[in-house]
Structure 1
Amino acid sequence: MTRAAKEFQTWYFEEPEFFDGPPVLRIETDEACNVSVVTPLVPKGLNEPETNETLKALLARLLSRIQPKRLIAWYYTPMALRFTHELEPDGCVYDNMDELSAFVGAPGDIADWERRLLEKCDVVYVGGRSLYEAKRNRHPNIHVYPSSVDVAHFRVARTMRDAPEDQALIPHPRMGFFGVIDERMDLDIVAGVAALRPQWQLVMVGPTAKIDPSRLPIAPNIHWLGCKSYESLPRYLAGWDVGFMPFALNEATRFISPTKTPEFLAAGVPLVSTPIADVVEPYGKAGLVEIARTAEQFVERAEYLLRRPKGPWLRMVDAHLSGMSWDSTWAGMAGHLNSISHRGMEARRV
């Protein structure tokens, strides 16, 4: 969206927050990148139809305020269609990063809303090759855009020496993970690696969501550090000897294309992952990421990475990442946008 905002006026309409008070919009604009985040504040106690009517009215209030000459509606989730199905934008985009219907707690009618959104949209972007293969026949104008990477942001981890306070005293070797800790993580692998190598320290960075925190394995060498800011992530990665992505192999991970894969690589952290399709191809087959299914295999692959010289691998990584950037991702997306509307329009994400 920071790239989009260089060409378009960009409004990011967030999910609602519920509070004691009348409906209102909270608008925060990042002057550096010109992206405005719009959070609808909705009174507590409303049922679903009342909430959707309130969101519809708040969105109308926003559009009346900005009065766009031309409008693109850019959807991250089909559930936003519940309060925008009457909206008639000049262009409509569905940015489908995950198979949301497979996630724990997904609304029972999300598949129906997605069908309606696919009928409404002019162009669809999907976040990985496996998701593209699953949906390529559901829309005539669908394109795959895997997550890119801010190489400059993460590359500084290769030379950082300033350790975060909550990680500084954790011994080496360290295996690290960052991201949301939810039903997509194989907690048995985490516990298994910790038990097989009690001298290794497992550093887990990220918030816990949709699972009971009491399910998290507890051991002296497992460190659950909680949520950290995007800006601070390179400081944590700088202190990891090996990265690991112990994703469960289930419906929730069938189509994921983890953004963190190229971020680990840009930071110069050797990585072991379960065989997620969009990690195996291209990263595993190119020798950039080691693949393991069990805790025993994770230990074996991690021990190999701890012994392996990093120089040749880093050269392979940098060659691969040289063809990836958010700038090129946006350029491709913008090309499709320009095919459905004129340049100079105002754009917004719903």
Structure 2
Amino acid sequence: MRDLIVFGEDFGGLPSSTQHIITRLNPQRRILWVNSIGLRRPRLSASDMKRAYSKLFSKNTNKGSMATKVDSIPSNMEVISLKTLPAPKFAWERKLAKSWMASQLAPTLERLEFNNPILWTSLPTAADLCGHINESSVVYYCGDDFGALAGVDHKTVIQHENKLTDKANLILTASEAMQQRFPACKTQLLRHGVDYERFSTPVPRADDLPTGKPIAGFYGSLSNWLDYDLINQTAKAMPDWNFVFIGQNELGYNPFVELDNIHLLGPRPHHQLPSYCQHWDVSLLPFILNEQIKACSPLKLMEYVACGTPVITTRFPALKPFEDQVNVVNDSRQLIDCLSCYQSLTPCQSRSVENESWQQRSQFVDWLLELL
């Protein structure tokens, strides 16, 4: 069973689909996880400068200071951070970034005695490393449409993705829309899974959920893919409902009107989310149908379904397998009508995703990797 070098997000934060899949692979497969090498250049902001400082001056392995915050690293995995130029654009920058990363990887790969490993990247910006770290095969896991993803240097990242598409032996995509962008001969659909046991097993109610009114809730980043006008209009019209939002505000400003029934709780660890979504009355997916949402398959959709509470959502392509379980609205009037009769809404059938676990997705990936 070949070893795996994985380029993904920073390990230990809110888990992406990459982290869900990789941590459940066969424990006999040794894994070197490389924390995020970036999808855009840093900006002159406090958050970007803090992150850049952390990347430049932290110790580079999970034996160092960064990993003391992470208690979920599997025994077959080592986590490292590389110093690099995020999202290099020009040829000289790309050459420098490639050489810098390869030189940092070399001693770790030698120490771990990785021979002919598989290179798995969920970030197009690892493309220039292909063929330079003695990998035997390249897997590109495309979980997002990087040409539309917020917070990304789109033109630069697409240039990297085009190279990665040529170099990859296997391309995995999270949605059919993304699958159509790549060569059919080496592209495989890998739909998202769900941590069914975590989200379907009853847990106590979170202490900071508001009381006294029904709750419509959402968790996830507050970014430009949410329909804030829809929420603001609905919250104004329904003061007898609480609207709860859990997640990092990535906008830099508060997109909601100041109302007593809109509650921004901030981010919460992934394992705590069931204590919220199991206890609100309706789960919301109030997306704007932009290019990113057209291609995406949000993890929270299947997690909401596993919880079993009714889901009210705007329409987007990834809803198709769940159309008979969710309640689709097109505007604030329809959302208000749904909330007004929420006790008679179509509930989600939790057991419908029981056989869609991340463990099953990982077993399929293990099989694919052995074919390379």
Judge same fold: TM > 0.5, yes or no. yes
Q: Which amino acid aligns with 2:220?
A: G
Residue 147, structure 1, aligned to residue 163, structure 2: no
Q: Which residue of 2 aligns with 1:196?
A: 237
Percent of residue pairs identical:
20
Q: Which residue of 2 aligns with 1:325?
A: 357
> What is the CA–CA distance in structure 2 between the aligned matches of 1:22 and 1:322, rounded to whole Å?
43
> What is the CA–CA distance in structure 2 between the aligned matches of 1:112 and 1:298, rounded to whole Å?
41
The alpha-carbon deviation at position 84 of structure 1 amounts to 5.0
- Where does 1:26-45 land on structure 2 (aligned, <5 Å)? 26-27=61-62, 28=67, 30=72, 32=74, 34-40=76-82
- 1:114-155 alpha-carbon deviations (Å, 9 max, x no partner): 1110111111110012222x325x241111111111111011
Q: Which residue of 1 aligns with 2:325?
A: 288
Q: Which residue of 2 aligns with 1:176?
A: 217
- Structure 1 residues 220-229 or 81-90, which shifts more? 81-90
Q: Which amino acid aligns with 1:183?
A: N
- 1:43-72 alpha-carbon deviations (Å, 9 max, x no partner): 99x995555543332222322221212301
1:302 equivalent among 327, 333, 339 = 339
Q: Which amino acid aligns with 2:335?
A: F
- 1:142-195 alpha-carbon deviations (Å, 9 max, x no partner): 111111111110112xx33x332321x433200010111111111111212211
Residue 113, structure 1, aligned to residue 150, structure 2: no
The alpha-carbon deviation at position 41 of structure 1 amounts to 5.1
Question: What SS is found at the alignment partner of 1:95?
Answer: strand
- Where does 1:222-301 land on structure 2 (aligned, <5 Å)? 222-279=262-319, 281-284=320-323, 287-301=324-338
Unaligned runs of 5+ in 1: 341-350
> What is the CA–CA distance in structure 2 between the aligned matches of 1:207 and 1:300, rounded to whole Å?
29
1:59 equivalent among 97, 102, 105 = 105
The alpha-carbon deviation at position 113 of structure 1 amounts to 1.2
Whether the 8 Å contact between 2:305 and 2:350 is mirrored in structure 1 is: yes
- Using the size of structure 2 for normalisation, the TM-score is 0.79
Residue 89, structure 1, aligned to residue 135, structure 2: yes
Q: Which residue of 2 aligns with 1:18?
A: 52
Whether the 8 Å contact between 2:61 and 2:78 is mirrored in structure 1 is: no
The alpha-carbon deviation at position 83 of structure 1 amounts to 4.8
Whether the 8 Å contact between 2:116 and 2:134 is mirrored in structure 1 is: no
- 1:251-307 alpha-carbon deviations (Å, 9 max, x no partner): 22110111111101111221011111011x1111xx111111212222223334323
Residue 69, structure 1, aligned to residue 115, structure 2: yes
- Using the size of structure 1 for normalisation, the TM-score is 0.84
Q: Which residue of 2 aligns with 1:348?
A: none
Question: What SS is found at the alignment partner of 2:361?
Answer: helix
2:255 equivalent among 197, 215, 224 = 215
Q: Which amino acid aligns with 1:145?
A: L
Which structure exhibits the higher relative contact order, with contacts defined as CA atoms closer than 8 Å and separated by 6 or more residues?
1
> What is the CA–CA distance in structure 2 between the aligned matches of 1:52 and 1:117, rounded to whole Å?
14
- 1:78-116 alpha-carbon deviations (Å, 9 max, x no partner): 112245563341111111011011123422222221111
The alpha-carbon deviation at position 33 of structure 1 amounts to 5.2
Whether the 8 Å contact between 1:19 and 1:43 is mirrored in structure 2 is: no
Size of the alignment, in residue pairs? 324
Q: Which residue of 1 aligns with 2:9?
A: none
Q: CA RMSD of the aligned region, Å? A: 2.6
